[in-house]
Amino acid sequence: MDGDPRSLVEAPVKGALLGVMFRGIALVASMAMLVAWPMLARPEDEVRDAVIIVAIGILYGYAVWVRLRQRLRTRLSSEDRALAWDRAKEIDSDDATMGLLVAGWVPVALALVLVLHLWPNLTDEDPVRAAIWVVMAVPPAFVAWLLATLAWLDACRDDLARAEAEAQVRLRRYWSNVAH
């Protein structure tokens, strides 16, 4: 192993922490752009409604994508997943704290974005239209948010646990080659 052995061993975990932060910000930003566009462009009601459906679909799609990715990869132990954040803090406390902050912030931001998406329809002047949106959009939006949140938190833990496993492999490889 060339270079500083500590940085080479810690690199997967630091990369996973940066990945968690980047993906969280990207997910929220994409949903926020979907909220901002109808507010700025003022499209017809049908287009605005379609954007809400797309936003809910993105959350469902994200949850399905994460679950499929988990099924295609080897399963991690429950212990490794449970200790992922603590082990990441041992390697880089500042980045782990920031990553945990982002991981916790994403579900809150997604809920806020969904409320902003639905709010114009839920407060429509036509009470029948508002009631239809309450009945037809709020439950699927809530389920999409819940599934995306659970998938997001699982993905964060899995990514960190996988990175920590790679760090352990690198550490063992380093110590096996020290004598050579």
Per-residue pLDDT tens digits for 109-149: 999 999 998 888 888 899 998 899 899 999 999 999 999 99
CA distance 171 to 25: 31
Q: Is the dihedral of CA 125, 128, 134, 140 positive or negative?
A: negative
1-28 pLDDT per residue, tens = 456 777 888 889 999 999 999 999 999 9
Question: C-alpha angle 157/97/79, rounded to 5°?
Answer: 30
Q: Is the dihedral of CA 149, 152, 156, 162 positive or negative?
A: positive
Compute CA distances 146 → 23, 39, 160, whole Å. 18, 25, 21
Token code pair at residue 114? 């969904």
* pTM of the full structure: 0.85
The one-character DSSP state at 3 is S
Side-chain-side CA neighbours of residue 100 (13 Å): 13
pLDDT given at position 23: 94
52-90 pLDDT per residue, tens = 899 999 999 999 999 999 899 887 888 888 899 998 999
Would you report the helix, strand and coil content of the chain in percent, each value rounded to 5?
A: 90, 0, 10
22-51 pLDDT per residue, tens = 999 999 999 999 888 877 887 787 888 888
pLDDT given at position 1: 47
The one-character DSSP state at 175 is H
